[in-house]
Amino acid sequence: MLRIIFILLISCVGTQLRAQLVEQEGPAPSANQMKWHEMEYYLFMHFGPNTFSDLEWGKGTEDPKLFNPTALDCRQWARIARDAGAKGIIITAKHHDGFCLWPSKYSEHTVAQSPWKDGKGDVLRELSDACSSYGIKFGVYISPWDRNHPDYGTDEYNDIYVKSMRELLRNYGDLFEIWWDGANGEGPNGKKQEYDFPRFEKTARRFASEAVIFSDIGPDIRWVGNEKGIAGITNWDLLDTAGFMRGLGAPPIDTLNSGNVNGKLWIPAECDVSIRPGWFYHPNEDAAVKSAKDLMKIYMTSVGRGANLLLNVPPDRRGLISAADSASLMAFKSLRESSFETNLALRASVKVSTSRAGYLPSVLTDGFRFSHWAPLKTETTCSIELEMPEPREFNTILLQEYIEAGQRIIEFTVEVWDGTAYQPLVNGTTVGYKRILQFPKQLASKIRVSVVKAKASPILGEIQLYNFEDYQ
C-alpha cells in the first residue's frame, strides 16, 4: 500500500512539474473546446417542412399540416450515426421558415400544429433520448431568422427568441453545440430583425454551459467560409473578431478559411458539407449521394487540416435516413478504418535535435497525442528522426500538436531516407490538433520531420505513418 501511495505521489509531482514547464503561447482552447476538437466528426440533420415541400429555404407560409413523417425513428438516426463513427448529431430545431421541431409555447408554427402524432409529438425529445441511448452527443441549430413569427422585426422578437432558446437549453438534456446561422432576411411584416446576440450568448452560457457556440465569429467555433468541407491549407485555430459581426458583417472568406496567425481568440473552424447536393432531403437527389471516396477526400481537407467535419445527412419524408445515405456512411467508415488501421511508426525509435528536460522523445510514437515532447524552450526550430525496424511502405503522415499550450507551428518539412541521404518528401504549414499529408508511396525505414518556423518552442504530441489504399 505504501508503495502504491509513493508511486501516486511521484506521478502527481511529475504532472505538476510538466505543467510548470509547458508555457502557454497565445490563446489556447477551453475545456469545452478541447472536447469539441476530440470529436472530429459528427452529423448535421436538416429536417422540417422543407423536407416535404422540396424547398431549401422555406417561406414561413407553409401549412404545418405539411409536416407528417410516416415512420419517424430517431433511434435509427442515432444508431446509424454511431455505427458510422460520428460522435454526435446537430438537428435543425428551427430553420428560417420558423417551424419548430418541438412544441414551443412561443410559436404557432410547430409540431403541435401538425398532424404528426396528432400534434403530440416532439422530434427533439425523441432525438435527445436516442442520442443518449446510443452514446453520442446532441446539438441544436436554431435560426434567429424567422419568416413566420408575426413579431419578427420588432423588439419583442428578441424576447421570444431568448424564451425559445431557454426551452431548448433547459428541457432536452446536455448539448454539445449550439449552431447560429447568420442569415437575416425579412419576416412576414416585411421587416428585418436586429438580433441581440450578446443577450443570446448570455442565455446560452447560462443554460448550456457545456455547449460550444458556432457562428461566423464564434464565440467558440467559426464557419470555415464554404459549404464544401474544405479548410484552409494553412489553418489557424485563432481569429480576430473585433469590428466584425455575424452574417453580412463577418470576416472575409479567406480569413474564415485560414484563421489569423496572431489572432487574439481561440475560435477553430468547423467544416459543414452535405452528403447530397442539397441540405434538405429531395427525392431527385437519391442518385447523387456522395460516395465513400468523396467523403474521404472531404475528411482529408477538414479533419486532415485541423478542423472538425459536420456532415449533413437529411432524413427523408418517412423520417428515416435513406438506404443510399446509410450505405455511403458505412462505406466511408470502412474506408477510414482500413486507412488508419496500422500506424507504421508506432513505437519507432526517435532521435531529436534538442530535447527539453522532462520530455521524452519516445512519446512521439506512443500512439497518444496527450503525451507530448518539446525541444529546448529557447528553440523555435527542431528536427525529429523516426526509424522503424525495417523498411516499410507508406504514403501518409499524421502530425498533432499539444494545442492545450497553444498552436505554434508555422511551417514544417518531411524528408525520407533513401539509404544514403534524406530527400525532400512534402512541406506543410500549420499543424494544430491534427494534420494529415499525403505523398507518393515510399519504401523506407527512416523519415525526418523538421519544424522550420514556429511562433514559440513547438510542442508535438504525435507522429504517425500510414499506407492508405487509393481513394482518389
306, 78 contact by CB (below 8 A)? no
- Residues 155-178 have pLDDT tens digits of 999 999 999 999 999 999 999 999
pLDDT at residue 247, rounded to an integer: 87
Q: Which of 242-256, 337-351, 409-423 has the lowest mean pLDDT?
A: 242-256
Residues 6+ apart with CB under 8 A from 236: 258, 259, 260, 261, 263, 407, 430, 432
C-alpha to C-alpha distance for 456 and 463, rounded to whole angstroms: 19
The three cell numbers of residue 408 are 505554434
- Residues 369-428 have pLDDT tens digits of 999 999 999 999 999 999 999 999 999 999 999 999 999 999 999 999 999 999 999 999
189, 153 contact by CB (below 8 A)? yes
56, 276 contact by CB (below 8 A)? no
30, 266 contact by CB (below 8 A)? yes
User: Has residue 269 got a pLDDT over 70?
Assistant: yes
| Predicted TM-score of the model (pTM) | 0.94
User: Has residue 1 got a pLDDT over 50?
Assistant: no
C-alpha to C-alpha distance for 189 and 353, rounded to whole angstroms: 67
396 phi, psi to nearest 5 deg? -145, 135
Is residue 96 packed enough to be buried (19+ CB in 10 Å), middle (13-18) or exposed (0-12)?
buried
* Domains of the chain: residue spans and CATH: 31-339 (3.20.20.80), 349-466 (2.60.120.260)
Reduce the DSSP state of residue 171 to 3 states and report it. helix
C-alpha to C-alpha distance for 343 and 230, rounded to whole angstroms: 25
The three cell numbers of residue 402 are 499539444
Is residue 11 packed enough to be buried (19+ CB in 10 Å), middle (13-18) or exposed (0-12)?
exposed
C-alpha to C-alpha distance for 175 and 42, rounded to whole angstroms: 13
285, 277 contact by CB (below 8 A)? yes
**Gyration radius from the chain CA atoms:** 24
User: Has residue 51 got a pLDDT over 80?
Assistant: yes
pLDDT at residue 470, rounded to an integer: 75
Q: For residue 323, name the pLDDT band (cuts at 50, 70, 90).
A: very high
- Residues 12-32 have pLDDT tens digits of 434 333 444 578 999 999 999
Determine the average pLDDT of the residues in 228-237: 98
User: Has residue 2 got a pLDDT over 50?
Assistant: no
Determine the average pLDDT of the residues in 240-268: 95
The three cell numbers of residue 268 are 477553430
Instruction: Work out the mean pLDDT of the chain and round it to a whole number.
Output: 94
Query: Quick one: which H or E segment has residue 197?
Result: helix 197-207
Reduce the DSSP state of residue 37 to 3 states and report it. helix
